Chain A
């Protein structure tokens, strides 16, 4: 049996080319469906990415030790209540916890202070000023773009966005930041972090990190440590690490339970209820747009084939078998689906970026989105293109010729 793939392909492209108007409209029809899917999916992706999973982090946080003992779980969409409580954690706590094998502990002391740069005289109200130790680099998985990380004595490390905001450049080493009129020299700039909202509740892109020894000068010599982040490489013994940390803290605090250890699932509980709710809604919208886009593609293809019943009849009368017809329409549909999918994907991305100008999100494209939308376009296109052709081939050719 001769394989006529080449002939079918020629037939299909010939049919598509000879009817440019219809081909174009069909592709546009498919593209619109796919564009809506892509747009919704990439915006949903952006939203989910903002609250992204941290599963790709190399060091897992084991526990966050918090001052005070209230039950509130930190989250992004509500005001953090850490600052209102008395901070009971000390430098010693962090240092002692770090003595557990394979474990790092970074104290975090937020300070609400204005950052000033002399050159631009930019006031940054929303920047976070964090006092910490060298361990923070490993604990929070920070990458240095230029320069070095802070040491115990001095210097300030700024996030990429903050660097741009203050100095107008990503290379701001050597510049001076004034905090309450105290000059601090920038020693390093962080790499841009793509996943800014993390369990730490800190956007490091917009943060200035200074040593604890410096920050405590602003707070009467005692660092106001709100939390200590504990990570370990010893993944198997998470519980024992937590246990040891608890023991150390118990000893340091004379068994006074004025701290609490948040661990396990509570940490991964990054999304607030609102965020989760939004995520669900967006997913539902995504599914609906998949359906609508899919039906749109289907409709366009059905009409495209239905109006060619007669052509099917003619082709069969001159000797095409049912499979010849199906193959031709299959290839046509695949080409339309592919082109429409790519066009729609491009349109959808453009739409998403335009929409994102008015939204507090950046669209984020998972590669799955591309595969899903273009794949869906081809699959639905082929199914809905081949189905009516297959139906047409099942009846006698003269019936098709009557159309």
Chain B
């Protein structure tokens, strides 16, 4: 996070094909994309337009068929799976739609998981995981199993896990897809809070409402970038948070406490 000059992400003519011959589908079709540090990008578009493929490619879970991908100005499009795993471990945090916590592990073990692969010792891992869980107001839930938590809480755990190795990019694939609108806004608050602290966030979403949180909205169509608009988002987020706060206060004490913590 120290270097400022090179763009965080640069995609040049990235194409991703699935299938062969007649059945060939271009999930990504010559996509060019540059992401600067500190951006909060929302990717929109109909189903099957390649949003998720783009995100997976950005997250090095998937390799492009053609094209170049520079992460912090380092070419990463043709690395071995081992090197890609190392980069994921160091630079990328994932938040999935269906959370993808390991159901048999406790919350804190799940959050500590990425640190395992960075080679941290057990005590350090758990300390770090505990610290990050506290910032998400889940300190009380450390030794719960994922299925004992609500959807919103599980997703916060998933975000905590994505953040625990202090990645330079956070990729979120419909992070609110399985949540009700109230939990969705809570999650979005967390994300925009991360954004305010300088993290680069790329989020895929179906919900146009949530694009208000983003600083840049990209819509995709048939594997191509259709529109790409930078926007002034502070006003919207502020307003929404205030809205939320009112709602929370009237309903739940715990949630309102959190909002206050956020405000300060």
Binding site for B on A (CB under 8 A): 2, 4, 6-7, 10-11, 14-15, 18-19, 310-311, 313-324, 393, 396-398, 401
Partner of B61, one of A11, A15, A317, A393: A317
A125 to chain B, nearest CB (A): 66
In the bound complex, what is the Cα–Cα distance between A114 and B144 (angstroms)? 79
In the bound complex, what is the Cα–Cα distance between A132 and B66 (angstroms)? 94
Known: A14-B105, A397-B61, A398-B62. A319 touches B56 (CB 8 A): no
With an 8 A cutoff between CB atoms, is B29 at the interface? no
Q: Please report which residues of chain B, range 94-116, place their CB below 8 angstroms from some CB of chain A when the two chains form the complex.
A: 94, 96, 100-102, 104-106, 109, 113-114, 116
Chain A residues with CB below 8 A from B259, complex form: none
Q: Contact: A310 with B100, CB < 8 Å?
A: yes
Chain B residues with CB below 8 A from A318, complex form: 88-89, 94, 113-114, 117, 161
Q: Contact: A314 with B82, CB < 8 Å?
A: no
Chain A residues with CB below 8 A from B155, complex form: none
Q: Contact: B119 with A4, CB < 8 Å?
A: yes
B77 to chain A, nearest CB (A): 14
28 residue pairs A–B, Cβ–Cβ below 8 Å: A2-B119, A4-B117, A7-B116, A7-B117, A10-B116, A10-B122, A15-B104, A18-B106, A19-B104, A310-B100, A315-B117, A317-B94, A318-B89, A319-B89, A319-B165, A320-B85, A320-B89, A320-B116, A321-B81, A321-B86, A322-B81, A322-B85, A324-B85, A324-B117, A396-B61, A396-B62, A396-B63, A401-B61
In the bound complex, what is the Cα–Cα distance between A398 and B27 (angstroms)? 15
With an 8 A cutoff between CB atoms, is B90 at the interface? yes
With an 8 A cutoff between CB atoms, is B118 at the interface? yes
Q: Contact: A401 with B100, CB < 8 Å?
A: yes
Partner of A319, one of B63, B86, B100, B104: B86
Chain A residues with CB below 8 A from B62, complex form: 396, 398
A2 to chain B, nearest CB (A): 4
Known: A10-B122, A319-B85, A396-B62. A18 touches B100 (CB 8 A): no
A402 to chain B, nearest CB (A): 11
Closest 5 CB pairs of A and B: A319-B89, A321-B85, A318-B114, A18-B104, A2-B119
Chain A residues with CB below 8 A from B61, complex form: 316-317, 396-398, 401
Chain B residues with CB below 8 A from A321, complex form: 81-82, 85-86, 117
In the bound complex, what is the Cα–Cα distance between A362 and B104 (angstroms)? 46
Chain A residues with CB below 8 A from B120, complex form: 7
> For residue B57, which residue of chain A has the nearest CB?
A398
Chain B residues with CB below 8 A from A315, complex form: 102, 113, 117
B147 to chain A, nearest CB (A): 13
B197 to chain A, nearest CB (A): 21
Chain B residues with CB below 8 A from A324, complex form: 85, 117
A5 to chain B, nearest CB (A): 11
Chain B residues with CB below 8 A from A398, complex form: 56, 61-62
Chain B residues with CB below 8 A from A15, complex form: 104-105
- Chain B 164-190 against A: per-residue CB contact (8 Å), 1 yes, 0 no? 010000000000000000000000000
Chain B residues with CB below 8 A from A314, complex form: 100-102, 113
> For residue A317, which residue of chain B has the nearest CB?
B94
Please indicate which of the listed interface residues B85, B105, B109 has the most CB atoms of chain A within 10 Å of its own CB. Answer: B85
In the bound complex, what is the Cα–Cα distance between A86 and B105 (angstroms)? 84
Partner of B88, one of A313, A319, A393: A319
B20 to chain A, nearest CB (A): 17
B104 to chain A, nearest CB (A): 4
Known: A4-B119, A318-B113. 17 other contacts (CB 8 A): A4-B116, A6-B121, A7-B119, A7-B120, A18-B104, A318-B88, A318-B161, A319-B86, A319-B89, A319-B114, A319-B118, A320-B85, A320-B116, A320-B117, A321-B117, A322-B82, A396-B62
In the bound complex, what is the Cα–Cα distance between A31 and B121 (angstroms)? 33
B82 to chain A, nearest CB (A): 5
Known: A7-B119, A18-B105, A398-B56. A316 touches B85 (CB 8 A): yes
Q: Contact: A311 with B102, CB < 8 Å?
A: yes
> For residue A18, which residue of chain B has the nearest CB?
B104
- Chain B 117-139 against A: per-residue CB contact (8 Å), 1 yes, 0 no? 11111100000000000000000
> For residue B52, which residue of chain A has the nearest CB?
A398
In the bound complex, what is the Cα–Cα distance between A6 and B123 (angstroms)? 13
> For residue B89, which residue of chain A has the nearest CB?
A319
Chain B residues with CB below 8 A from A310, complex form: 100
In the bound complex, what is the Cα–Cα distance between A311 and B114 (angstroms)? 13
B17 to chain A, nearest CB (A): 14
In the bound complex, what is the Cα–Cα distance between A322 and B82 (angstroms)? 7
In the bound complex, what is the Cα–Cα distance between A393 and B80 (angstroms)? 12
Chain A residues with CB below 8 A from B82, complex form: 321-323
> For residue B118, which residue of chain A has the nearest CB?
A319
In the bound complex, what is the Cα–Cα distance between A184 and B88 (angstroms)? 90
Chain A residues with CB below 8 A from B117, complex form: 4, 7, 315, 318-321, 324
> For residue A15, which residue of chain B has the nearest CB?
B104
> For residue A8, which residue of chain B has the nearest CB?
B116
Q: Please report which residues of chain B, range 45-76, place their CB below 8 angstroms from some CB of chain A when the two chains form the complex.
A: 56, 59, 61-63
In the bound complex, what is the Cα–Cα distance between A19 and B109 (angstroms)? 14
> For residue B113, which residue of chain A has the nearest CB?
A318
Chain B residues with CB below 8 A from A10, complex form: 116, 122
In the bound complex, what is the Cα–Cα distance between A318 and B82 (angstroms)? 13
B59 to chain A, nearest CB (A): 8
Known: A7-B116, A10-B122, A311-B102. A319 touches B81 (CB 8 A): no
A13 to chain B, nearest CB (A): 11
B155 to chain A, nearest CB (A): 15
Known: A314-B102, A317-B88, A398-B56. A14 touches B161 (CB 8 A): no
In the bound complex, what is the Cα–Cα distance between A15 and B105 (angstroms)? 8
Please indicate which of the listed interface residues B96, B113, B114 has the most CB atoms of chain A within 10 Å of its own CB. Answer: B113
> For residue B87, which residue of chain A has the nearest CB?
A319
In the bound complex, what is the Cα–Cα distance between A14 and B120 (angstroms)? 16
